[in-house]
Chains A and B, each alone.
Chain A
C-alpha cells in the first residue's frame, strides 16, 4: 500500500510541477473538468490504482503467444499479467518483472525442482509451491514477497550454506557466484549450524573442468546439461540424502566438445575453469563483446581481459547462432594468443636465419621483388582467420599489380562463388530447428561446427527428427543412420534405391547439409550436382524453405567467396615467383618452387613461416576490428579487446602501406573507407547481424554435370578438433586436450 500511494503522490507532484513551468507566470489557467464537479460520482467509481512503473519482463524473458485466444491471466503480487498456456509460475513472474531466486532451474534445461529456492506463496495452497515446476493456472494469485515466501527462502539458504565450505576467498566463482548474491539478497543474517560440515572427494573431469565437489549444492544442472544438450551421459548423481555426490560413476574424463559449458551453468564454484583457476577475479576483468573465429559458426563471445592479456572467454547470448553455449575450442584456445607471436618485421638473411628489420626496409625489399615478378607469377592466399577488410585489400592490391591468382584457404581450387546459395547455410542455424529430416553428406558437424551440431541435437531430441549420414564412421551424440561412406551412396539416394529416400520425400522440411571438405575434391562439381538432384527429389528447395546447405569450415571462407577471391588458375602455385600469404598455414608448402619469394603476413609463427622470406607481423582477431561472415552468411564484427603485440599492425593497414611503397597505392586510408569499398563489392558484409536469404538457388540454375564421380569415400575434414588453425595449434590447453580428450 505505502509504496503505491507514495508513487502516485510523486507522480501527481511531478505533473503539477511540469504544468506550472509550462504556463506563464502572469496568466494562470483554471482547468475544470466535469469529473471534478461531481466528486461523489468520482469516488464511487472504482479508480484503478495509478499505474506503477510498467512491469517489464526480467531476466531476458520474452513471450510468444502461439494461439492468442489461449492466453490466461494470472496475478503476480496483485499485478495482472497475460501469459500463454503451459507456462510455469516462475516464468509468469519473470514476465511480470519479478525475479525469483533459483539454483536448479535453467531456462534451457528440463525442470528439476530440487533446490526449493524458488518457493512462492500461492493463494489457496496449503504450502508454498516450487514456482519452477508448478504450471500457472488461470486466475492464480501469486505472491512473491509475503513473509512466508521470504521465510522459505531464508530457510533454504540456511540449509544450503550448512554444508557449504568457507571457500569464498579461494573460490574462483567469488564475485560471480549465485550463492553469494542470493544469500546477500534473500538469506538471513546468521546461521545456526555448529556441527561439522561434510566434505566430498574431488572428481577428475579432464584438463578443462576443475572440480571441487565439496562446494556442490546438488542442483543437477550439470547432469541435465550433459544428458540433454551435450548428449553424453557422463555425469550423474550418486548416493542419497546428504551423501549425494555428482560424478562420473567410473573414472572417465568429460570428452564432449561442449563440456566447458558446465562451468557457466554451475551456480557455485564446484565446476570451474581449470586453465583460469586462480588467475583473476571477475571484477578486474574488462569484457569485450566479440566474435569467435576458430570455426565458421561465429559464436558470440565476451573476451575478458586484464590489461594486455586475454584471461578468459565467455559465451554471449545469441538466440540465432549459439544460444548460450560455446564449444571447448572457442572457450579455451585463448592462451594460444600469448605464445609464438610475431611482433617484428623480419627478413631472411643469406645464411637462412631471420633478422629483425624495420617496416621501411621490409617494405622496400618486398616492393623490389614484386616489381621483378611477372603478373601471372604473383599469387596471394588468404588464411582461415582473415577478416573481410584485409581480404578486400589483398585482392585489390594484387589486382592492381596485375595478378588474379588469389584465393582463400579451404575453398578449393575452383570455388563456385557465382551463386551465394551454393556456399552458405541457407536454412539458417536457427531454422534447423524446424527441420524434420537431416541428410549429412561428408560432414561431421560435431567436430566441424559444434554449435550447429548442438542445434541438430536439439531438433532431434525435441521432434525425433531422422538423421542420415554419409561419410566415414564418426561419433554422433544423437541417433542417426549411417547410410554409407562415399559418393556411391549419393547415387543410390538420387535414384531412390535406399529406404531413406522415402523418409526424405515424406519430410515436410528436409535439410541437406554438405560439408566444405567436398571443396577439396576433384569431382566436387559432380558431387554437388548429385546432391542438388537429391534436393530436387525431396522438394527441399521451395520459396518458403531452402534446405540445401553448405557447412563451411573456416571463419574466412564465406566472406572470401562473397568478395570474389576466386583464382584464375588452380595451378598457379607451382609456377609462382612471388607468394603473398596472409595467415595461410594449411597450404602445402611442398608445391611452392624453390626460387619463389614468399611473404608471410600473420600473427603466429605457424607452418608457413618456415618457408617465408619476409615476415610481416599482423594483429590477431582479439586485437583488431574485423568483419567475419559465418556459415549462414551473417556478417559480424570483432572488437579489439587487447592491444597489438610489439610492432604488429592490422592486416589491411599493412597491405595498404605495402601498396603505397610498391607504387600501386590503394584508394582507402581508413576503416570506413575500406568498408565503403566492400559496399561496392558485397554490401551484405556490412549489414551486421542480418542474414540475406539467397534469391536464386543452385539446384534450379546450375547445369547438371555429366562427369563421373570419383568413388573414393569421403574423408574427414577435421582430423583433430582441438588443433585446427594457427592460434589453436599454439595453445597449451589445446595440446593437453588433444592428448587427453581425443577419442583414439
Chain B
C-alpha cells in the first residue's frame, strides 16, 4: 500500500566527497518529501509537526557531519535509506516513530539545558550518579 521508494537500489560508490555530499542532500530531500506520507500512516498529527520531523532528520544527519571518508558516508546513507524505506512501508509502528524521532533523550521537552552550562564535568557527573 505504501509507496516504496524508487531509490532503493544499491547505489554505486561515490567517487569523491562532493558526490557523497550531493547524495546526502538528495537523501534529505527524499526524506522530507516522504514526511506527509509518514504522518498519514502513523497518525502523528497530534504528536509532531512536519517542521519538527524535518529538524529531527536534519539533526540526525548533522550528527555525522564530521565524517570525511566517502565510503563511510555511503554506508551511512545506505543505512539511512534502509531505515527510511522501513518507515515508509509501515514496517515499523507508531511507538517506534514517537520514541525514536519525536521524543528526545530527556523526554518530550527537549532541553539543551542552559542550566548545565557553566558546570564542570564533576558537577555534571555528580548529578547523574555516585560512581564516576
Partner of A359, one of B121, B122, B126, B131: B126
**How many chain B residues have a CB neighbour from A under 8 Å?**
10
Question: How many residue pairs at the A-B interface have CB separations less than 8 Å?
Answer: 27
Contacts of B122 in A (CB 8 A): 656-657, 660, 669
B106: Cβ under 8 A from any A Cβ: no
Interface 0/1 of B78-93, CB less than 8 Å to A: 0000000000000000
Cβ of A234 to closest chain B Cβ, rounded Å: 45
Say whether B117 faces chain A, with CB atoms less than 8 Å apart.
Answer: no
CB-CB under 8 A from A665, the residues of chain B are: 120
Q: Which residues of A contact B119 (CB under 8 A)?
A: 660
Interface contact A648-B120, CB-CB below 8 Å: no
In the bound assembly, the distance between CA atoms of A648 and B115 in angstroms comes to: 22
Q: Which residue of chain A lies nearest to B121 when distances are taken between CB atoms in the complex?
A: A669
Cβ-based interface call for A177 (8 A): no
Q: B123 on the interface (CB 8 Å rule)?
A: yes
Of the candidates B115, B121, B126, B130, the one having the most CB atoms from chain A within 10 angstroms of its own CB is B130
What's the Cα separation between A649 and B122 when bound, in Å?
13
A579 to B115, CA, bound (A): 28
Within 8 A of A (CB), among B23-40: none
Does A461 reach chain B (CB closer than 8 Å)?
Answer: no
Interface residue count on the A side (C-beta < 8 Å): 15
Residue of A661, A665, A669 with highest tally of chain B CB at under 10 A: A669
For residue B7, CB closer than 8 A to chain A, the reply is no
- Which residues of B sit under 8 angstroms from A360, Cβ to Cβ? 115, 127
Scan residues 88-124 of chain B and give those whose CB is less than 8 A from a CB of chain A: 115, 119-123
Q: What residue in chain B is nearest A646 (Cβ atoms)?
A: B130
Q: How far is the CA of A665 from the CA of B126 in the complex (A)?
A: 14
- B121 neighbours in A (Cβ, 8 Å): 669
Residues of B within 8 A of A657 (CB): 122-123, 126
Whether A650 and B123, one on each chain, are in contact in the complex, defined by CB atoms closer than 8 angstroms, is no
Smallest Cβ-Cβ distance to B118: which chain A residue: A660
Minimum distance in angstroms from A163 CB to a CB of chain B? 52
A648 nearest in chain B by CB position: B130
Instruction: Name the distance in Å between B119's Cβ and chain A's nearest Cβ.
Output: 7
Any B CB within 8 A of the CB of A82:
no
User: Are A649's CB and B115's CB within 8 A?
Assistant: no
A649 lies within 8 A of B123 (CB)? no
- CB contacts (< 8 Å) of A653 on chain B: these are 126, 130
> Which residues of A sit under 8 angstroms from B127, Cβ to Cβ?
359-360
Specify the chain B residue showing the minimal Cβ separation from A359. Answer: B127
Task: Give, as a whole number of angstroms, the nearest-CB distance from A225 to chain B.
Answer: 41
What's the nearest-Cβ distance from chain B to residue A95, in Å? 46
- Mark out the residues of chain B between 19 and 70 whose CB falls within 8 Å of any chain A CB in the assembled complex: none
- Check B126–A649 contact: CB distance below 8 A: yes
Bound Cα distance from A650 to B122, whole angstroms: 13
Q: Are B120 and A650 interface neighbours, CB within 8 A?
A: no
> Once bound together, how far apart are the Cα atoms of A659 and B130, in whole Å?
17
A619 touching B126 by the CB < 8 A rule? no
A650 touches B115 (CB 8 A): no
* Contact of A554 with B by CB under 8 A: no
Indicate whether A327 reaches chain B with its CB closer than 8 angstroms.
no
What distance in Å separates the Cβ of A159 from its nearest Cβ neighbour in chain B? 54
Interface residues of A in 642-697 (CB under 8 A from B): 643-644, 648-650, 653, 656-657, 660-661, 665, 669
The distance from the CB of B132 to the nearest CB of chain A, in whole angstroms, is 9
Q: Which residues of A contact B130 (CB under 8 A)?
A: 619, 644, 648-650, 653
**Complex CA distance for A653 and B119, rounded to whole angstroms:** 15
Q: How far is the CB of A275 from chain B (nearest CB, A)?
A: 28
A17 to B109, CA, bound (A): 71
Contacting residues of chain A (316-340) with chain B, CB-CB under 8 angstroms: none
Once the chains bind, are A661 and B126 in contact (CB under 8 Å)?
A: no
Taking CB atoms, residues of chain A closer than 8 Å to B120 are: 660, 665, 669
Residues of B near A656 (CB, < 8 A) are 122, 126
Residues of B within 8 A of A649 (CB): 126, 130
Min CB gap B127→A, angstroms: 6
Please indicate the chain B residues that have their CB under 8 angstroms from the CB of A669 in the complex. Answer: 120-122
CB A309 to nearest CB in B, in angstroms, measures 18
Residue of A nearest to B122 (CB): A669
In chain A between 345 and 402, which residues have their CB closer than 8 angstroms to a CB of chain B? 359-360
Q: In the assembly, what is the distance between CA of A360 and CA of B124, in Å?
A: 10
**Residue in chain A with minimal CB distance to B115:** A360
Q: How far is the CA of A619 from the CA of B130 in the complex (A)?
A: 10
Q: Name B126's closest neighbour in chain A (CB-CB).
A: A657
For A661, the chain B residues whose CB sits under 8 A away are 123
Give the distance to chain A from B116, nearest Cβ to Cβ, in Å.
Answer: 9
A650 to B115, CA, bound (A): 23
- What is the CB-to-nearest-CB distance from A664 to chain B, in angstroms, rounded to a whole number? 13
Instruction: State A360–B115 Cα separation when bound (angstroms).
Output: 10
**A695 CB, nearest partner CB in chain B, Å:** 38
How far does the Cβ of B114 sit from chain A's closest Cβ, in whole Å? 13
Q: Closest chain B residue to A666 by CB distance?
A: B122
Bound Cα distance A649, B129 (Å):
8
Q: Which of A619, A650, A660 has the most B CB atoms < 10 Å from its CB?
A: A660
Write out the residue numbers on chain B whose beta carbons fall within 8 Å of the beta carbon of A648. Answer: 130
What is the bound-complex CA distance between A311 and B120, given in angstroms? 38
* B-contact 0/1 string along A624-655, CB 8 Å cutoff: 00000000000000000001100011100100
Taking A359-B126, A653-B126, A657-B126 as known contacts, 20 extra A-B pairs with beta carbons closer than 8 A to each other, sorted by chain A number, are A359-B127, A360-B115, A360-B127, A619-B130, A643-B131, A644-B130, A648-B130, A649-B126, A656-B122, A656-B126, A657-B122, A657-B123, A660-B119, A660-B120, A660-B122, A661-B123, A665-B120, A669-B120, A669-B121, A669-B122
For this complex, 16 residue pairs linking A to B, each with C-beta atoms less than 8 Å apart, are A359-B126, A360-B115, A360-B127, A619-B130, A644-B130, A648-B130, A649-B126, A650-B130, A653-B126, A656-B122, A656-B126, A657-B123, A660-B120, A660-B122, A661-B123, A669-B121
* Residues on B facing A (Cβ under 8 Å): 115, 119-123, 126-127, 130-131
6 nearest A-B pairs in the assembled complex, by CB-CB distance: A657-B126, A669-B122, A649-B130, A644-B130, A660-B123, A657-B123
